[in-house]
Every structure is written in structure tokens, then in C-alpha cells.
Structure 1
């Protein structure tokens, strides 16, 4: 898949998908969030081919989501740490997990979450940054932003956001 073509689409979802929308990439991120940082541990946990893992780690490094750190010189070994931009994807990964728990986990969720601040079990929700209320597609209005434009990948959306043409 040519991921670079998504970088030019005037849509933050398309641009983000070009970086992280791949099952192996999301699983690498999951493992990093869970504290698996060393290459060999990632390979062993995921059961992924070394060339695939190396490619995903390179992509995440190039995108600025992780950084590579040498922890051994002979032979050279690396571990991978999330950058601030990588940490910012935590909510995205949790949202995907919550959807999978609701719709694709007939035996129940594979992992349970406890919010350390309050000590209660929790499930992630997307919430308003102002009032804290849950955001759903039924109660959010979308308006054109300064970076939006009529272009490939956003043609119909740009037209709908702009409203009917003025006569």
C-alpha cells in the first residue's frame, strides 16, 4: 500500500491512517504502551516476521512516534520508546480496544483497565475537552477548519461542510 499518498489529503484521519492504520503497526503500539520495548521481545510477543517488524519500527521512528535507543553494544541491541507524539495515540489505541471488546470479544475482553487515579475499573470513552461529556456522532456538529479544502480524498466532505452554493 502506498501510504505516502495519504500525507497530502486534507484530512487528519487520512494522514493519521497513512502512519498507523496497519494491524502490525497498531499491535507494535499496543505492546509499547504495555511496556514491551526491546526488539526481540516485540518479535517474540507478536510472532511477526523480522522484516515486517523492522519495517513498522522504521516507519514509526520516521514518523516521530517512537525513538530507538541502543541498550547493548556487542552485539548491538535496541529498544524503542514512545515519543510525546506516540503517547498521544494512547486514546486512539484504547478506543480501538474498547470497540473490539464490545463487538469482537465473545468470551469477554482480553484485558481489563483500571484507572489508577480513582482505582476503578473503566472503559475508554471519547469525551468533550470542555465539559467532559461523552462525544457521539449524534451530538457533534462538524464545521470547516482552516486546513480543510476541496481536494482528492475530501471532495464530497468539503462540499457538505461548505453548505449549499450561494446564488
Structure 2
């Protein structure tokens, strides 16, 4: 698959993340792996995805280090696809995306909800700063800035905003 990242975005963590997991089927496959699916036929049956598309997406996830391909049967050889530590680290992101989708629906319209495994009570995931515990959804409190490895384009994008006009690209 051809890269969709523009040359100037190669150092942007959002662009490189979307290159790995921003495709429709990829997110659904990852969601299935979090629910315990590991085998090709399970993914195919649950998602209704074509064999060729599933093969392509699984190869991409393995190449990105998000899934590991392991044999589970010798004759004929069959493989399962298991989340790596890197893949498991995406769970909070997938949960946040699902929660965002649910927040746009009335409770009776939600087909899937996240609950506390012990109490069964519905939970509402939020993204917080690990150090302070403050919610990150306040776009006035948190902004991006150029990091230590930023190139010229990234430094120009996140240069201190002028006093005459806000830099909306800086807000997260």
C-alpha cells in the first residue's frame, strides 16, 4: 500500500500513527483482538471482510509490530495473530474512540458499552495527563510545541504564536 503521509508530515507522530492504524479494517481487527479473536477465520466471520483484504491488513499489522503471527496447527499449518505489547498499548486509544462514538448517541442507541469488569457499571473513559491527572480535552490548557527532534517545518509550525493572531494549529 502506498504511503499517504506527506513528506513534511513524516516527523509528525499523528501522521505516522494514522499510517499504521488509521485504516477502517485495521481498527476493527484491533478491536476484535482486544475481544480475544486471534484466528483468520474468526476475523473474517465477525467482520465480513474479504480474504485478500484481511490478509493484507494482518500482514500490515504484523509488519508494524502490533500483532505477532504464531503457528497453532502443524498440518496444515495455520497461524493465529496475537497482540504484541505495542499492540496492547493501543487499547486505551481504541476505548477512547469507542467512547467518543457512544457520547454522540443516546444511551438506548448504544450497541456496545464499556463497563467495570467487577461491578458491571458503565464507565466513561477520559484521557488525562499521567502526571497531574488533569483532563486533556481542554483545548485552551494544552498545546503542541516543537520537540527536540523537530525539523525546520515542525519548528515553523509550532513557533510561538504572534500577539496579533492565534495559531489554531497549535491546540490539541
TM, length-normalised to structure 2:
0.82
- Runs of 4+ aligned residues of structure 1 deviating over 3 Å after TM superposition are 4-8, 104-107, 116-120
Structure 2 alignment gaps of length 5 or more? 163-172
Structure 1 alignment gaps of length 5 or more? none
Q: Secondary structure at the match of 1:162?
A: coil
Task: Give the CA RMSD over aligned residues.
Answer: 2.4
Number of equivalent positions? 160
Residue 48 and residue 105 in structure 1: after superposition, are their counterparts in 2 closer, same or farther (change >3 A)? farther
TM-aligned CA deviation for residue 4 of structure 1: 6.5
Q: Which has the higher contact order (CA 8 A, sep 6+)?
A: 1
Alignment equivalent of 2:156, drawn from 140, 155, 159: 159
TM-aligned CA deviation for residue 109 of structure 1: 2.1
CA distance, structure 2, for counterparts of residue 45 and residue 145 of structure 1: 41
Which has a greater percent of strand?
Answer: 1
CA contact (8 A) 2:5 2:15 kept: no
Residue 78 and residue 134 in structure 1: after superposition, are their counterparts in 2 closer, same or farther (change >3 A)? same
Tell which deviates more after alignment, 119-128 or 32-41: 119-128
TM-aligned CA deviation for residue 107 of structure 1: 4.8
CA distance, structure 2, for counterparts of residue 18 and residue 105 of structure 1: 32
Q: Secondary structure at the match of 1:131?
A: coil
Q: Which residue of 1 aligns with 2:72?
A: 71
